Amino acid sequence: MNWLRSFLDKIKPNFEKGGKLYFLHSTFEAFEVFFFVPNKVTEKGSHIRDYVDLKRLMTHVLIALAPIVLFGMFNVGLQHFRLQLGLDIDAWGQVVKEIGFWRIFWYGFLRVLPIIVVSYVSGLAVEFASAQIRHHQVNEGFLVTGMLIALIVPPTIPLWMLSVATIFAVIFGKEIFGGTGMNFLNPALLTRAFLFFAYPASMTGDAIWVASKGLDVISGPTPLALAAQNQFFQSPSLLTMSLGFIPGSIGETSKILIILAAIYLIFTGVANLRVMISALVGAAAMGIIFNLWGANEYMQIPFYYHFFIGGFLFGAIFMATDPVTSAQTPTGKIYYGLLIGIFCILIRVVNPAYPEGAMLAILLMNVFAPLIDHLVVQQNINRRKKRALLSQTIKS
């Protein structure tokens, strides 16, 4: 790759201070470090540094997401053809037999790809522009956010809305706080929340979950919606739900792939196990409480069903664990996760206006994470003060 290196070295002076294209220096650097890890050596402190950098970390999240994206594309196609054929949710096998795997995937691919592209282009445009304005380097944070945004919206989302929402979330959720690492709300969830409250017609209801051509709207309620309408008896089998052949946001449906991704993230050390486990425990606990209470049909849904419907699992694995917006202390992470689980099920079951509790529960806990951490750190401080006091009393 020497020709590329020498080409970059040749054009580099144009982007340096005083060069013609200095106003694009952040952009140039972003591309340069995309091709080559720089030749910078350690100057202070430890002389050796580990090979892992933020880019690699983000890459591993994308690797974990890749199967989910591909499955999401397939499922978008599957749901489309299923309703066209007028078949039941559980009849996915028949759809595949009649339409053919590749035709289904191709349809979904064409629907999902524009969503991914729009999400990335809108977000990265803001990232590059703000890096340029601040004379900073472009951060990698959006590489994951961009994909997450595409995975938590319905396949029918109008692209302009997605673009507006992404731009809003990146500017007001991240850049005004100083960029990657400084934000306190998860930017992907903020995008979804913006869409949810600004364009509710495109984010809620039964008509949006299945992609179709033309104006004839096909209604395909999600299992979550069925539960909220006390029609859970109509919902598909547990197998169909865990495999993910159900209507829903693009990436949230396949629970098996999400769990595989979680195992991958934990194994590589990218995501934190504490948050995931405690979120699941919190949700299960809340579900059991509602089971015992049993005041209405929704409360009587077996608690473990909550893991299979809606976006809770996806949120708990990919959103709640966002290292920037989650609680920072190990103890804090446990409380943070537990509360996410509890609130998610609480919002789902008790508040009929918001069928999906995961988004609001995680955003709420994003806001409270600094408080949780403050309490945990305060305990550490008190422990230290107590120890000092104790040693003083022994002395005197």
Partner 1 sequence: MKEHFKIKKGLDIPLEGEAPLKDLPDILSDKYAILPPDFRLLTPRLLVQEGDDILAGEPIIQNKINENIFITSPISGKVTAIIRGEKRILKQIIITPKFPQEFKIFNIPTTLDRENIIKLLLESGLWVNIKQRPYGIIANPSDMPKAIYISAFDSSPLAPNPDYLIKGEEENFQKGIDIIKKLTSGPIYLNISSTRNKSDFYKNIKNTELHNFEGPHPVGNVSVQISRISPINKGDIYWYLYPQDVIFIGRLFQNGKLDLHRKIELTGSELTERGYITTLPGISMQALLSNRLKQNNVRVISGNVLTGTNAGLDGFLSYYDNQITVIPEGNYYDFFGWVAPKFTKYSPSRMIMNWLIRNKKKKYVLDTNMHGEERPFVLSDQYDKYFPFDIYPVYLLKAILSENIEQMENLGIYEIVEEDFALPEYVCVSKINLQEIVRKGIDLMIKETT
For residue 20, what are the contacts with CB-CB under 8 A and spacing of at least 6? Answer: 14
Residue 184 touches partner 1, criterion: CB under 8 A: no
Within 8 A by CB and 6+ apart from 52, the residues are none
User: Which residue number, 103 or 383, has a Cβ lying nearer to partner 1?
Assistant: 383
- CB of 29 or CB of 90, closer to partner 1: 29
Angle at 257 between CA 162 and CA 100, to 5 degrees: 80
Sole binder of partner 1 in the list 21, 52, 198, 217 (CB under 8 A) = 52
Nearer to partner 1, 27 or 291 (CB): 27
Q: Note the residue count of the chain.
A: 396
86 sits near partner 1 (criterion: CB under 8 A): no
Structure tokens at 136: 């900073």
Site string for partner 1, 209-248 (x = CB under 8 A): ----------------------------------------
| 120: nearest Cα among 155, 149, 152, 158 | 149
| Nearest CB to partner 1, comparing residues 96 and 320 | 320
**Residue number, 51 or 197, with CB nearest to partner 1:** 51
Exposed e or buried b per residue across 162-193, where buried means at least 16 C-beta atoms within 10 angstroms of its C-beta: bbbbbbbbbeebbbeeebbeebebbbbbbbbb
CB of residue 363 to partner 1, shortest distance in Å: 18
Which listed residue (11, 21, 54, 238) binds partner 1 by CB under 8 A? 54
Residues 256-285 contacting partner 1, CB under 8 A: 267-270, 272
CA distances from 270 to 41, 98, 318, 322 (A): 25, 41, 11, 10
Contact call for residue 133 and partner 1 (CB under 8 A): no
Q: Is 42 in the site for partner 1 (CB under 8 A)?
A: yes
Q: Which stretch binds partner 1 (CB under 8 A): 74-82, 85-93, 99-107, 373-381?
A: 373-381
Check: CB of residue 241 under 8 Å from CB of residue 223: yes
- Cβ–Cβ < 8 Å for 323, 272: yes
109 and 72 Cβ atoms separated by less than 8 Å:
no
**Which of these segments, 92-100, 101-109, 145-153, 325-333, binds partner 1 (CB under 8 A)?**
325-333
Q: How far is the CB of 112 from partner 1 (least distance, A)?
A: 23
* Number of residues near partner 1 (by CB under 8 A): 60
Residues 59 to 78 in contact with partner 1, rule: CB under 8 A: 59-60
Candidates 133, 146, 155, 14; CA nearest to 77 is 155
Alpha-carbon distances of 203 from 206, 313, 351, 354, 355, rounded to whole Å: 9, 19, 17, 11, 11
Q: Measured between alpha carbons, how far is residue 332 from residues 47, 101, 166, 266 in Å?
A: 33, 45, 29, 18
Q: Is 291 in the site for partner 1 (CB under 8 A)?
A: no
Single residue of 10, 20, 38, 233 touching partner 1 by CB under 8 A? 38
Residue closer to partner 1, measured from CB, 159 or 182: 182
Tokens of 12: 């580099």
Per CB under 8 A, residues contacting partner 1 are 1, 4-5, 33, 35-57, 59-60, 137, 139-141, 178-182, 267-270, 272, 323-324, 326, 328-330, 333, 377, 380-381, 383-385, 387-388, 391-392
